[in-house]
Amino acid sequence: RDPGAALTSAGRARPGTAAPAAAAPRPGECGSAGAHRVTGAGVGIGRTLGKGHFAVVKLARHVFTGQRVAVKVIDKSKLAGEAAGQLLQEVRCMKLVQHPNVVRLYEVIDTHAKLYLILELGDGGDMFDHIMRHEGGLAEPRAKHYFAQIVHAISYCHKLHVVHRDLKPENVVFFQEQGVVKLTDFGFSNRFQPGKMLTTSCGSLAYSAPEILLGDEYDAPAVDIWSLGVILYMLVCGHPPFQEANDSETLTMIMDCRYTVPPHVSAQCADLISRMLQRDPKQRASLEQIEGHTWLQGVDPSPASRSLLPLTSHKRVSEEEHEIILQAMMCGNIADRDTIQE
């Protein structure tokens, strides 16, 4: 997979790298290196957060609301046929999926040379880093809170016949201000027809279902459910269930479905993990069975406070943020200061 496709809306080019904080532009910086410039969507583009072969992720700020977003800038000249098709599929799926626990694709700007994806920006890092800071895993109530949200998002995707195919903690982003986690990186996503098998091998070794690794035809929902099992295991254990010294040994463990649950994990949680990590995809729990499992009872994945946030936010901005917006608007020749302040 091209590294560019792995860039997430959180702005990382590789697992474990947090997006750097953005610095506000100083007055008069419009023409200097690294200064904000304005795209056709009214977004002031700032510093680079991550980059790959054909894509760069930039921190940006909406010039009218001050809301921070991520802009994925794709160089169309570097896209081969397969990569171009994959990118188109990613955009289609993200435009279709509008859910409180999925990173939002606000807008797509298509120019002759570049494609700009304006994405919701997480403010709390990714789940992989969070797990790595908790040796032995998270407490089950906290793990349950996060896992229920991921299941809620995937259930919604599957109802729209969208399969993610790259579920892993690195692709779950924290939004601390909203108090939620959100699924990101739909680079391997695709539409599916119920009952019709898919054939593309994709994803990451440690999280991929056995049938994908074997190159077999596979049922789309079942491969996401396997990955959900790996994520839940990591949440409560602090490490992947299938991880050996080399890929060959890891592959053997996955094919044998051989893993060990530490004694501190409750019997109910271990049971749910085992229902998802089934070698035979037909034996895996369905999403309905996962949501109805005893371990997840009493968890509300979507409280009333969790709502979709529009790009045109009505949040009051500080004087410093107001000055940033003014500077960005003037840099883009939208209007002069006096006209804007009127």
Reading the block at residue 201, the tokens are 């091998």
Distant-in-sequence, close-in-space partners of 327: CB < 8 Å, separation ≥ 6: 25, 27, 29, 30, 36
3-state secondary structure of 325: helix
Report the candidate in 63, 311, 310 with the shortest Cα–Cα distance to residue 46: 63
Contacts of 245 (CB under 8 A, 6+ apart): none
Query: CA 155 from chain center: how many Å?
Result: 15
For the question of residue 166 being annotated catalytic, the response is yes
202: three-class secondary structure by DSSP: coil
Choose the catalytic residue: 75, 110, 126, 166: 166
Q: Any binding-site annotation on 72?
A: yes
Three-class secondary structure of residue 32 per DSSP: coil
Maximum alpha-carbon separation in the chain: 70
- Do residues 164 and 188 lie in contact, with contact meaning Cβ atoms separated by under 8 Å? yes
Helical axes 220-237 vs 267-276, angle rounded to 10°: 150
CA 322, distance to chain mean position in Å, is 29
For the chain, list the strands marked E by DSSP.
37-38, 43-51, 55-62, 68-75, 105-110, 114-120, 162-163, 172-175, 180-183, 190-191
CA 44 – CA 329 distance, rounded (Å): 8
**C-alpha distances out from residue 265 to 31, 134, 218, 287, 334, Å:** 56, 14, 31, 22, 57
Active site positions, annotated: 166
Q: Return binding residues for ATP.
A: 72
